[in-house]
Amino acid sequence: MTTPSVRPDVQMLLGMLASQPGPPMHELDAATARDMYNAMAQMADSPRGELAEVKELTIAGDAGAIPARLYRPTDATHPAPVLLFFHGGGWVIGNLDTHDSACAAIARGLGLSVVSVDYRLAPEHRFPAAVDDCLAAARWLATSPAEIGHPVSGLIPAGDSAGGTLAAITSQQLAGQLPVSIVAQWLIYPGTDMQASSGSMEDFADGYLLTRETMDWFMNHYFEGGDDRTDPRASPLAAESLKGQPPTLVFTCSLDPLRDQGRAYAARLIEAGVPTIFREAEGQIHGSLTLRAGIPSAQADLDGNLAALRLLLTA
């Protein structure tokens, strides 16, 4: 592999993180890793900013209450689609707060309400608990619950990393099965193949924030030894067909171990005739959505994605 291009602000953040003392995430227990991730989000992401309303929600799931958070950019009460956001973090770390700023920015940028879902995490709740919670949240939101403040005319599953995986699975499982349509999906550097081991998984296995050892740590927490990782509820790329999936925006980063999985999923969607926009950020790393204060160029990436999603919604 030739020496990859790295943006100056990305290089600066990577150097700063490499200089920090302490063990890497894959050597920590889940609770400590969550604290580390929360602290990094507070340090490296932007402030939430102003919205018409931010409200805590409770969704009734099959296994109990699912916390969620509503972001409303305006006080409008007319019918509109709602973006349903699933946070990243390898199904082990992350929560409503780590993606609070990103969800607020998305709500403002689209002029649409956003509901962020705090699905159950591993290892306390292993596969497919996160999937079940995300499906329950989508079914709930599709009924236009009063808490949203306006009728829900359509759903937009979205998420980053593991959340992008969950968004793809939600669309596969529920397209055509809800009271309203899934009008689009937005997959932000998603994992789509839980058995991938070559290509970008090797090329960027170390030195670009998300490492191969950390990915193995995530998956060993999420999956039991006997789980079938080729199940489409684990690896959406393994679905027999992607025909009938909603219009899709796939965003990848060139320095991401998961890059090739996002590329492969976009290619499958296009082959299946699904209207698809594929965008890749050159010189950018995995996790950049929630590092916009530490990586200022990541804000331009987000702005470009929001413009592409608006185009997809109006096409």
Residues comprising the chain, all counted: 315
Go through 76-88 and write b for each residue having 16 or more CB atoms within 10 A of its CB, e for each that does not.
eeeebbbbbbbbb
Is 101 annotated as catalytic? no
Is 221 annotated as catalytic? no
Q: Is the C-alpha dihedral spanning 291, 119, 156, 243 positive or negative? A: positive
Choose, from 256, 260, 288, 301, the residue flagged as catalytic.
Answer: 256
* Position 128, amino acid: P
Nearest to 84 by CA among 13, 3, 170, 10: 170
How far apart CA 194 and CA 285 sit, in angstroms, is: 20
Choose, from 46, 101, 116, 161, the residue flagged as catalytic.
Answer: 161
Is 256 annotated as catalytic? yes
How far apart CA 219 and CA 288 sit, in angstroms, is: 21
Nearest to 236 by CA among 172, 141, 163, 301: 172
Choose, from 235, 286, 288, 301, the residue flagged as catalytic.
Answer: 286
CA 169, chain centre distance (Å): 12
Joined together, the tokens standing for residue 152 give 């829900």
Joined together, the tokens standing for residue 46 give 């932007």
Which residues are identified as catalytic?
Answer: 161, 256, 286
